[in-house]
Amino acid sequence: TQLLEQSPQFLSIQEGENLTVYCNSSSVFSSLQWYRQEPGEGPVLLVTVVTGGEVKKLKRLTFQFGDARKDSSLHITAAQPGDTGLYLCAGAGSNDYKLSFGAGTTVTVRA
């Protein structure tokens, strides 16, 4: 059972457009991570957020952790074809060593 719900499931946009993907849960997480996965490869960590309300920027990617630490969003500005991939959010409880992943959002950026 996935504790994290991601939306939308699929997103296809034109190069240069902006996009936002969401990660929601009824559970509180001590930290939340975003990964990107390309076909045939394992997920690669993009960012870890730990404080409610925290905003982190990684070049054209902006990550936000909700105040209540139950939800997060990833915003990509001026998307490029290289941003294509499966974006996964994953959360961990304070006494929990296992990451729980959402089902992911498949992003396709068309040139």
- Site residues, other proteins (CB under 8 A): 2, 4, 6, 30-31, 33, 40-45, 48, 50, 88, 90, 92, 94, 96-104
Shortest Cβ 2–other proteins spacing (Å): 7
Residue 10 or residue 111: which is nearer to other proteins going by CB?
A: 10
Are 100 and 62 in contact by the 8 Å Cβ rule? The answer is no
Please name the residue that has the structure tokens 């994290």: 4
Nearer to other proteins, 3 or 80 (CB): 3
Could you tell me the two tokens for 43? 């997920």
Q: How far is the CB of 8 from other proteins (least distance, A)?
A: 13
The least distance separating other proteins from the CB of residue 39, rounded to whole angstroms, comes to 10
Could you give the dihedral angle defined by the CA atoms of residues 44, 49, 54 and 56, in that order, rounded to the nearest 10 degrees? -30
Nearer to other proteins, 27 or 77 (CB): 27
User: Whole-angstrom Cα distance, residue 32 to residue 94?
Assistant: 11
Least spacing, CB of residue 99 vs other proteins, in Å:
4
Question: Which of 66, 102 has the CB closer to other proteins?
Answer: 102
62 HSE (CA, 13 A, CB side): 10
Residue 40 token pair: 């045939």
